[in-house]
Amino acid sequence: MGQSVVIIGGGIAALTSAYTLANKGHRVTIINQTDTNSAPSFGNAGLLSAFEKAPLAAPGVITKTLKLMLQGKSPIVLRPNLDPHFYRWLVRFMASTTRARLKKTLILFERYGEQSIQAYHRLTQEEGLDFDFHHDGVMLVFTEAESYREKLRHATDSSKYEVLDYASAKERLGFVAPNIEGVIHLKRNGRLDPGRLMEQLKALLVRKGVCFVSGEEIVDFDVGPKQIKSARSKTRTYEADTFILASGHHTALAAKLGTPLMLIPAKGYNITFEMEESIKPKQCVMFNDLFIIATPRQHDMRLTSKLEIGTSNPDINMKRVQSILANLKTHTVKFELQNPRYWAGFRPLTPNDMPLIGRDSTYRNMVYGMGYGWLGMTFGPALGEIIGRLIDEDLENHQSDDVLLFSGFYQGCL
Ligand SMILES: Cc1cc2nc3c(=O)[nH]c(=O)nc-3n(C[C@H](O)[C@H](O)[C@H](O)COP(=O)(O)OP(=O)(O)OC[C@H]3O[C@@H](n4cnc5c(N)ncnc54)[C@H](O)[C@@H]3O)c2cc1C
């Protein structure tokens, strides 16, 4: 008989960890405070972009952002506030934008991105899930000559890059207008419909015996000297051998255990609408200099953008939505937003693009699945396997090469 595991959360971190553990015979309960499809794991762009794409903490990002902020065009919005945690995060972020860190991050992205892509292939082929998964790359569109030239210098390996002119890419780009500088197809990336993935994965987990408790917020823990005895909601107590905290950008529960996690919420938006098939892109289009992703989905289109830090206000600011559309429309043909839906959510952002995975240093039976950042769908399955193995094989953090390599706990996030 396996262990009993209670997972607090309900996004990609929770579901992929549950998948590994259920396959290994453990008894898993997932407790989620919402029961709607509102979490970031449902509302994101669905781009799987581990390859040939710079991380957020990259050299030059600060100067570039400040320049764009002064011009009023920056996709990154910094809202200063009085929270010292926010400033500690910013200092770590700035310290992470080095060439040495970039080299390491790109290698780790390749390694865990590849594992995740393989895992998504298995979910479709072996488990029969259909979540609009395409391993067809991303079309990186440049609207600034300087950034295009810079990327071209690196785009030499034809197994990874395809440099295209507008005419040859037109069919695949759909609504993109000719007034762009260039297009580079990053061949190894992929995409999926995150909402469908989450729904199908949840149904699969139910079939595998995982128990879901929705609409239940965990507010505290009962602890012994070195272990968590139970997790408590306002009305119930949940006992288990092991607990996983996978609560996205919500860090209050970790703080109660004396573990302040080095992550902050980074707000982003999506606009989902129906689009005429004749101008719908055939592949995911990423506007490199506008920081806008356009993902074609089976029945609609999704635009995602903005990275607002220093706020935890969940409201949809229509001015931000309008600015995304205004920026985008300078480089597209005319298109109509048919039946538009607007959404805002938070990325759980660490200062150096590393997730926070591994055991708590005091309470060994608490495992974190946090800090998935702006790439939670890209790395979710690989991280779920790492967390699942840590618990299944009863490893300490230092006995897992993957935790040592890819967890922010060992890579500069403490
Ligand atoms: C605009 C935008 C675009 C993005 N685009 C991409 C993309 O293209 N590709 C990519 O790889 N990633 C993308 N991401 C990032 C990705 O969505 C996140 O990394 C990922 O969803 C995080 O998953 P999670 O499971 O950690 O958290 P979440 O999805 O936030 O789930 C956390 C869950 O925990 C629950 N919870 C919190 N506290 C409690 C509690 N106390 N008790 C019970 N339940 C609790 C919440 O209700 C929530 O359901 C994007 C994010 C945003 C915002």
Tell me the per-residue pLDDT of 107-117, one tens digit each, with 9 for 90 and over: 999 999 999 99
Q: In the predicted model, what is the mean pLDDT of residues 177-198?
A: 97
Asked whether 366 and 287 are in contact (CB, 8 A), the reply is no
Report the percent of the chain where pLDDT is more than 70: 99
Q: 9 pLDDT exceeds 90?
A: yes
Q: Which residues line ligand 1 (CB under 6 A)?
A: 8-14, 31-34, 39-41, 44-47, 217-218, 246-248, 250, 253, 268-270, 304, 345-348, 372-378
Q: In the predicted model, what is the mean pLDDT of residues 165-194?
A: 97
Q: In the predicted model, what is the mean pLDDT of residues 22-39?
A: 91
For atom 12 of ligand 1, the residue with the nearest CA is 375
Q: In the predicted model, what is the mean pLDDT of residues 85-91?
A: 92
Name the CATH superfamily, with its identifier, for domain 60-97+138-187+264-349: D-Amino Acid Oxidase, subunit A, domain 2 (3.30.9.10)
Q: In the predicted model, what is the mean pLDDT of residues 170-175?
A: 97
Q: In the predicted model, what is the mean pLDDT of residues 84-98?
A: 92
pLDDT band of residue 28 (cuts 50, 70, 90) is very high
pLDDT digits (tens, 9 = 90+) for 41-64: 999 999 999 999 889 888 888 777
Selected residue with higher pLDDT from 83 and 246: 246
Maximum CA extent, the chain: 66
Determine the topology of domain 4-42+195-262+354-406 in CATH.
FAD/NAD(P)-binding domain (3.50.50)
Asked whether 232 and 282 are in contact (CB, 8 A), the reply is no
User: What dihedral do alpha carbons 401, 403, 404, 406 form, nearest 10°?
Assistant: 110
Q: 343 pLDDT exceeds 90?
A: yes
**Domain ranges in the chain?**
4-42+195-262+354-406, 60-97+138-187+264-349
What Cα–Cα distance (Å) separates residue 214 from each residue in 9, 37, 158, 205, 309?
Answer: 10, 11, 47, 14, 29
- In the predicted model, what is the mean pLDDT of the chain? 95
Asked whether 317 and 378 are in contact (CB, 8 A), the reply is no
CA of 296 to the centre of ligand 1 (A): 21
Asked whether 26 and 264 are in contact (CB, 8 A), the reply is no
Q: 414 pLDDT exceeds 80?
A: no
